[in-house]
Amino acid sequence: MFIPLRDENPSGKFAFVNLALILANIGVFIYQITLTPYAFTAFVTANAMVPARIPAFLGGHGSVEAAFLPLVTSLFLHAGIAHILGNMLFLWIFGDNVEATFGHLRYLLFYLVCGVGSGLTHIAFNLYSHIPALGASGAISGVLGAYIVLEPRNRILTLIFIFVVRVPAVMVLGLWFVLQFLSGIGSLGSTANGGVAVWAHIGGFLYGLLITLAVKHR
């Protein structure tokens, strides 16, 4: 078990888009937990990403909004307190440096593109699943992919079991990606059961990495 706590090279700039994304996620989660169980289920069902809605729409059933809008709205939903705390911790640690490189508006666009790309990757591997997928982790995975390109040698203060150590970002994020990839390979051929959407993580990370490599090269 390893949990990043903070990085040792903050951007030095006020990352107001990253902060706004964190506050938006928290605000939506607070709204979620105020709902009755029936209203909560209805809200999540309407706004979470359900892969089977895509082939249904292509087959002439349902609306384009119901099929594709959740690729964005699902990025602001979370299943529980541990889910949102973990996602927001990663976004808080790694997002400011990426925003400083991209600029505010480009960072927002980058975040949403990675989120939608991660959702499409999840759909590709779970095309007929009726299980709702939700959470910001696909977009945040894109932020991690960008960070490993921009700050590979930066030290991350990391909790490893009971020890707090300084680990290069390329090791922390590289290990995270390898674990996601192995989990994704292990899930091939099985039916999605509502667990972690690892292919969304893999897709988001690769989108973020490739976009950042292209921007850095240019």
The answer, yes or no, to whether residue 1 has pLDDT greater than 80, is no
Residues acting as catalytic residues: 137, 201
Q: What is the mean pLDDT of residues 4-17?
A: 84
pLDDT greater than 80 at residue 47: yes
% the chain with pLDDT above 70: 95
The reported pLDDT for the residue numbered 28 is 97
Q: pTM of the entire structure?
A: 0.92
Contact 196, 138 (CB under 8 A): no
Residue scoring higher pLDDT (187 or 128):
128
State what percent of residues in the chain have pLDDT above 90: 74
| Whether pLDDT at 10 is above 80 | no
Calpha distance 56→67 (Å, rounded): 8
**Looking at residues 133-155, what average pLDDT do you find?**
95
Would you kindly state where each structural domain of the chain is located, as residue ranges?
A: 2-217
Residue 163's pLDDT is what?
A: 87
Query: Does residue 120 have a pLDDT over 50?
Result: yes
Q: Does domain 2-217 have CATH number 2.30.30.40?
A: no
Report the distance separating Cα 125 and Cα 192, nearest Å. 9
Q: Is the pLDDT of residue 101 over 70?
A: yes
- Is the CB of residue 187 less than 8 Å from the CB of residue 33? no
Q: How far apart are CA 130 and CA 28, in angstroms?
A: 23
Q: Note the pLDDT of residue 197.
A: 83
Mean pLDDT of all residues belonging to the chain: 91
- Over 50: is that where the pLDDT of 193 sits? no
Averaged pLDDT for residues 151-177? 91
Distance CA 189, CA 181 (A): 15
